Amino acid sequence: MPAKTNPKNAASNSSLRRPEWLKVRLGSGDPFIQVRQTLEGNNLHTVCESARCPNLGECWSRGTATFMVLGNICTRSCTFCNVQAGRPGAVDMEEPRRVAESVVKMNLKHAVLTMVARDDLPDSGAGIVAESIRQIRQLKPDCTIEALISDLKGIKKDLDTILQSQPDILNHNMETVRRLQKALRIQACYERSLQILQWSRQAGLMTKSGIMVGVGETFDEIIEVLKDLRTVGCQVLTMGQYLPPTRHHYPLYRYYDPSEFEDLKELGLEMGFTHVESGPLVRSSYHAEKALTEFAPSE
């Protein structure tokens, strides 16, 4: 099991040598090129690029990508995230159609949509997410859909807008343990995130959440957040290593060994999560389709 971490022992983001197991695969091949051309041709953003996901090469080479709607500028300033923060531009009402057309062109069996936080909009961007889901359903009805959303400022009617479009999975990340929420998610709220997941589960959707480790959390704090997720009925869990995008981001405290991620996976399954992805390079949408193939509706 992970050892307890002393929050006073943070390393600078350049002083820890990256372990061998964090070496990433570079993208190549026809599928990679086709994904890039499709995204560029439809003027679409991906969290793969904006958040500097380490799995971009692997996923694009498999012909998959995670679409990021509502532009690429976020109204929030989370200290761990590489997505640009600032004042977003106008909403592109044609974006949902282009997302759906890209899903068709890429022949996706499972599409993952995420969003930048749009606290500047009356509905926090829920309408565009919902319309993207509807457009995909219309153009490729055999494709399952996962929506990775912001907390929508905790407004239930905006969440309902997305839930009514019936994604197959509603994903909202806790990101970290309760104590570190304000340090990493300045404008977010631990209880509000749990509420989003609870409302979604009560509406009958499969729910999913994730955390990153290596930011100064203790093992007991990891246990607490996993218990809280199970309390609100969360079924799918992702856990991965925090990798600071730049030296200006939140400091890295330590690297977890792959064996520790295996222990965390076993722990999550023992606690009742239906599916757990846990590993150094795991991110929210990593092997996302597996959650549906392994899902058993026992709750």
| The token pair that represents 230 in the structure block | 């199970």
What is residue 94's three-state secondary structure?
Answer: coil
Residue 298 lies in a domain: no
**Res. 83: pLDDT tops 60:** yes
Spatial CA neighbour of 143 closest among 89, 77, 68, 67: 67
| pLDDT tier, 34 (very low <50, low <70, confident <90, very high otherwise) | confident
Q: Is residue 146 part of a domain?
A: yes
Q: What is the radius of gyration, based on Cα positions, of the chain?
A: 18
Structure confidence at residue 52 (pLDDT): 65
Chain position carrying tokens 């006073």 = 8
pLDDT tens track for 86-124: 999 999 999 999 999 999 988 888 899 999 999 999 999
Structure token digits, residue 25: 């695969």
Whether 235 maps to a domain, the answer reads: yes
> Please, which pLDDT band fits residue 44 given cuts at 50, 70 and 90?
confident
Sign of dihedral through CA atoms 271, 179, 156, 172?
negative
Confidence (pLDDT) at 289: 72
pLDDT above 90 covers what percent of the chain? 67
**At residue 62, what is the residue type?**
R
Indicate whether 28 pLDDT > 90.
no
Judged by average pLDDT, the poorest of 63-72, 125-134, 137-146, 218-227 is: 63-72
Q: 172 Cβ partners below 8 Å, 6+ apart? A: 148, 149, 150, 151, 193, 196, 197, 200, 207, 208, 209
Q: What is the pLDDT of residue 15?
A: 63
C-alpha to C-alpha distance for 279 and 282, rounded to whole angstroms = 5
Q: Is residue 5 part of a domain?
A: no
DSSP structure string for 132-190? HHHHHHHH-TT-EEEEE---GGG-HHHHHHHHTT--SEEE---BS-GGGHHHH-TT--H
Sign of CA dihedral 198, 298, 1, 252: negative
Residue 243, class by beta-carbon neighbours within 10 Å (0-12 exposed, 13-18 middle, 19+ buried)? buried
Average pLDDT on 14-31 reads: 70
> How many of the other CB atoms lie within 10 Å of CB of 203?
15
Mean of per-residue pLDDT scores for the chain: 87
Encoded tokens for 183: 């340090």
Residue 292 binned pLDDT confidence (cut-offs 50, 70, 90): confident
pTM (predicted TM-score): 0.88
- pLDDT exceeds 50 at position 8: no
Beta 66-69 vs 110-115: how paired, if at all?
A: parallel
Quickly state the pLDDT bin for 4 (edges 50, 70, 90). Answer: very low
- Report which secondary-structure segment, H or E, holds 237: strand 236-241
Query: Rounded to 5 degrees, what angle do the CA atoms 194, 134, 116 make?
Result: 45
**Count of structural domains within the chain:** 1
Domain-embedded: residue 220: yes
User: Tell me, what's the pLDDT at 62?
Assistant: 60
Does residue 85 sit within a domain?
yes
Residues 113/103, Cβ–Cβ less than 8 Å: no
**Does a structural domain hold residue 143?**
yes
Tell me the two tokens of residue 284. 């929210």
With bands split at pLDDT 50, 70 and 90, how would you rate the model's confidence at 65?
Answer: confident
Q: What is residue 2's predicted lDDT score, i.e. its pLDDT?
A: 46
pLDDT of residue 12: 56
Range of the domain at 240: 12-293
Residue 3 lies in a domain: no
CATH number of the domain at 269, please. 3.20.20.70
The C-alpha atoms of residue 128 and residue 92 are separated, in whole angstroms, by 9
Q: For the chain, what percent of residues have pLDDT higher than 70?
A: 81
Q: Which of 162, 165, 225, 172 is nearest to 198 (CA)?
A: 172
Q: What is the pLDDT of residues 171-230, one digit of tens each?
A: 999 999 999 999 999 999 999 999 999 999 999 999 999 999 999 999 999 999 999 999
222-242 mean pLDDT:
97
- Residue 31 has which token pair? 């599928």
State the residue for tokens 């570079």.
Answer: 26
Between CA 29 and CA 27 the distance in angstroms is 7
Model pLDDT, residue 298: 44
Element (H, E) at 292: helix 290-293
The span from the CA of 297 to the CA of 227, in Å, is 19
